[in-house]
Structure 1
Amino acid sequence: MAAVFFAVALPVELMVGESTGSVRILGTPAMLFAGAIIALIFSSALAIRRWSPPLALALAWAGAALQMALGRPPSVSDLAIFGVLYVTAAYGTARVYWVGFASALAGALVITAYLFVGPTFAGGGLSWQTLPLAVAVLVAAGFALMLSWTVGALVRTAVRAQANREAQRRAEADAAAEQERVRIARDMHDVVAHSLAVVIAQADGARYAAAADPASATSAAMDALDTISTTARAALADVRLLLTQLRHPQPEGPQPTLADLEELYAQVRATGIELRVDIDPVPRREPPAAVQLAVYRILQEALTNALRHGDGRPVRVGLSWHPDRVDLEVRNGAGTGERPAESGHGVVGMSERASLVGGRLRAFGEDGEFVVSATMPIASELDR
């Protein structure tokens, strides 16, 4: 485009060089050469405007200064100034942006002063008679130059808005992916950790029973294998469901409810752990599905911790279904081995489960016991 512009501007500048009469300060050959240089400067500014807006602006000012120093009238070459002002506003840095704004205002003043104070192109110079015309030229020049800069500023705003939208979309996509990874990790931990804890407890129990009473080893082993088989099959079904959701995103399948708690308690009791469950008061109506799922998963993880870290003392589970909330508490002997830390994955997962339904959870040691305590709200519509 700059080459085409130069091809058009050069003949015009050469004709201006030949026809510049009383204001000519050089000979005809020099004026023709100067016209070619002016066309080349403005064309170069147009060529590099996107690569370097500040350099293009400097070239435009240099071309205008040379043009005025030689006493030449405005010509086609000056049209390149509009393109340069546009890119300073659209693609320049913050400093170039405002320099372009100042150049548009200063350019209008310089053009008017040059036309009416310098060479008398407007006829008669500046006087009371030509003052209205000078004001009109000032307004027209300012409007034209500022229009180019303003269009560039609007493009700059649109480009930044689009970039912000793209960044927001990427951030939202990353956040959604992170939430999905956390959800899958939490579900995998809840399912696999609990099932493996039951399997390990059953295997250890069968081995200890065989060592203590070889006569009953076969019966104990069969009972343990039955529990291991049932637990492993249930875990495998849950893992397959999670993998299916990973491969083919779709609405989640059936989730555990309060009706599944008895099966969970049975799995724990089958390991030989004494489990005491106290529900007072009982639910007046069926709680929301999200609350039921949170209660099940928190109990599942808390009982898993009891299997892994408990010292053999009874595990006590308390559930209190109030009209506006449910209080959950699990207590087990802390034992002498490794205790689940508050920063562990299990405690973090339980806390996330509680927070997802607007509740809170605490895990702490008290009087030689490890306590998991949670409170979760229940929608008030259940009591209406």
Structure 2
Amino acid sequence: MNHFFGDRPRLRQAVRCLVAGLLLTGLVLEGLDTGSVPLAAAWVASGGLALAALAVPRHRFTPAALAAVTASCLVTLVNTQLAQRAEVTYGFLETCALLLLIARALWQRPLLPASLVAAGATAATTVIFLRLSAEQWSTVADFVLPATWFGALLMVALGLYLRLLDTLRAREHEAGLQEQRLEYARELHDFVAHHVTAIIAQTKAVRFASAAGNAPEPAELDRMLAGIEQAGSQAMDSMRSMVSVLRDPVRPAATRPAGDLGGLRELAAGFSAAGPAATLTLDPRLADRGLPPGIGTTVLHVVREALTNVRKHAHGATGVTIDVRLHEDGTERRLRVAVTDDGRGRPAPGERRVTTDRDAHGQTVRDGRRPGFGLMGLAERAEALGGRLTAGRVAGGGWTVGADLPLPPASAEARTDEPLRP
């Protein structure tokens, strides 16, 4: 009964009590129509079990439903042996409750126990008319029995329909969770891997210098160690930010506005402090207008991943350029991002360029390496926004990673975006 009434608002409890009282009154009145106290008690008991089975918790439904079906069949069997039978009623409320048991069983229970309950309830509603006298039975059989079978078919269809809806909802929920896991994986890669790569690159530089017998000067060594410390601190901050979001989705960690490109300056400065100088060129027209959240976030991810790949693969790079420009052609507006280095990375023979276009057949290879999960994730982000990601060699040496992303009309952008911070 605790499950039935539960911890609900008083109005809902009052409605449930009223419904339960009306159903119990109906069972008693049906029992009184039998003209016999023992029959009335049996009517109320079997009908009450069927109604109670509809209200029990899900994990207790199967035994409760089977008990109600068994009780109904036993009452019918005993009634057939009596000389005096009911002449007015056969148990209409009990029949309705048994039909509803079919729908709930097929909706909420595994197929095997649901089939047992459905078959038992169908049999119980078929033989329940035997409680009537022979004269009444012949009259009812031609009209009420077909209607009961039709009701059973409707309950089967209803139960299977509700079961299908639950299955579709569960799949949609699981797909949402999977998409969320993939998004967290991308965020973890984009934010943390960037800093960890910086730590590895600077540590290797110290080791190689020491192994070659050219120990760095104290000031130079201190600068390298400070860079490693800074990258480690940034990696920890990124991890704490993500953990805070996972722990408390109601109060997520403080982040920049979704369309803010101010983080590009921080990325360029952080990269320059530990490696080749990074030069940022930001279109001045982007300073006084907002960007859609998806576009701004994707730009930051593209630049971060490209800088991470420079550390990993751009051997001998002396400089990196980051170019973010707005291109307007009539009503069409596109944002183009390019990160270019002058390193000595070599693509595999025959694989000069890769795009995310549908007709692309090759994969980008630099120093014999295929693209990692970062570039593939960025390609998916760009495609989802209607853009494309490119990566390939630059004439004269070097490597470039670029993104071409469409922007919505200025009116739509103004309604949904926040202004950029200078």
TM range (shorter): 0.5 to 0.7
Change over 3 Å in CA distance of 1:146–1:207 after alignment to 2: same
Match of 1:77 in 2: 130
Match of 2:200 in 1: 200
Match of 2:298 in 1: 294
Return the offset for 1:242. 0.6
CA distance in 1, matches of 2:214, 2:118: 90
Find runs of 4+ consecutive structure 1 residues off by over 6 angstroms: 52-58
| CA deviation string 1:6-41 (max 9, x = no partner) | 111134599xxxxxxxxxxxxxxxxxxxxxxxxxxx
Match of 1:330 in 2: 339
CA distance in 2, matches of 1:311, 1:236: 27
Match of 2:235 in 1: 235
Show structure 1 runs of 5+ residues with no match: 15-48, 64-74, 80-114, 116-136
The residue identity in structure 1 corresponding to 2:410 is E
Show structure 2 runs of 5+ residues with no match: 1-71, 86-113, 133-137, 347-365, 415-422
CA distance in 2, matches of 1:191, 1:50: 52
User: Which shows bigger deviation, 170-179 or 327-336?
Assistant: 327-336
Structure (1 or 2) with the greater helix fraction: 1
Match of 1:5 in 2: 76
Change over 3 Å in CA distance of 1:173–1:57 after alignment to 2: closer
Change over 3 Å in CA distance of 1:51–1:349 after alignment to 2: closer
CA distance in 2, matches of 1:211, 1:8: 99
| CA deviation string 1:91-124 (max 9, x = no partner) | xxxxxxxxxxxxxxxxxxxxxxxx9xxxxxxxxx
Match of 2:266 in 1: 263
| CA deviation string 1:350-379 (max 9, x = no partner) | 123334544332334565654322122223
SS at match of 2:336: strand
Change over 3 Å in CA distance of 1:228–1:215 after alignment to 2: closer
Return the offset for 1:205. 2.9
The residue identity in structure 1 corresponding to 2:262 is A
| TM-score, length-scaled by structure 2 | 0.56
User: CA contact under 8 A between 1:347 and 1:363: conserved in structure 2?
Assistant: no
Q: How many residues align?
A: 281
SS at match of 1:322: strand
The residue identity in structure 1 corresponding to 2:306 is A
CA distance in 2, matches of 1:53, 1:232: 63
Match of 1:363 in 2: 391
SS at match of 2:401: strand
SS at match of 2:255: coil
User: Which shows bigger deviation, 319-328 or 155-164?
Assistant: 319-328
Change over 3 Å in CA distance of 1:261–1:375 after alignment to 2: same
Change over 3 Å in CA distance of 1:52–1:226 after alignment to 2: closer
The residue identity in structure 2 corresponding to 1:304 is T
Matches within 5 A, 1:1-384: 1-11=72-82, 51=116, 77=130, 143-209=143-209, 214=214, 216-252=216-252, 253-255=254-256, 257-280=260-283, 282-283=285-286, 285-313=289-317, 314-323=319-328, 324-332=333-341, 333=343, 335=345, 338=367, 341-342=370-371, 344-365=372-393, 369-381=398-410
User: Which shows bigger deviation, 272-281 or 143-152?
Assistant: 272-281
Change over 3 Å in CA distance of 1:217–1:353 after alignment to 2: farther
CA distance in 2, matches of 1:265, 1:223: 17
Match of 1:69 in 2: none
Change over 3 Å in CA distance of 1:76–1:264 after alignment to 2: closer
**Higher relative contact order (CA closer than 8 Å, sequence separation 6+):** 2
| TM-score, length-scaled by structure 1 | 0.61
Change over 3 Å in CA distance of 1:363–1:321 after alignment to 2: same
The residue identity in structure 1 corresponding to 2:221 is A
CA distance in 2, matches of 1:216, 1:264: 26
User: Which shows bigger deviation, 193-202 or 144-153?
Assistant: 144-153
SS at match of 2:262: helix
- Identity among equivalent positions (%) equals 27
User: CA contact under 8 A between 2:122 and 2:152: conserved in structure 1?
Assistant: no
CA distance in 2, matches of 1:167, 1:150: 26
CA distance in 2, matches of 1:170, 1:271: 48
Change over 3 Å in CA distance of 1:178–1:255 after alignment to 2: farther
The residue identity in structure 2 corresponding to 1:290 is G
Of structures 1 and 2, the larger Rg is shown by: 1
User: CA contact under 8 A between 1:255 and 1:293: conserved in structure 2?
Assistant: no
CA distance in 2, matches of 1:353, 1:76: 65
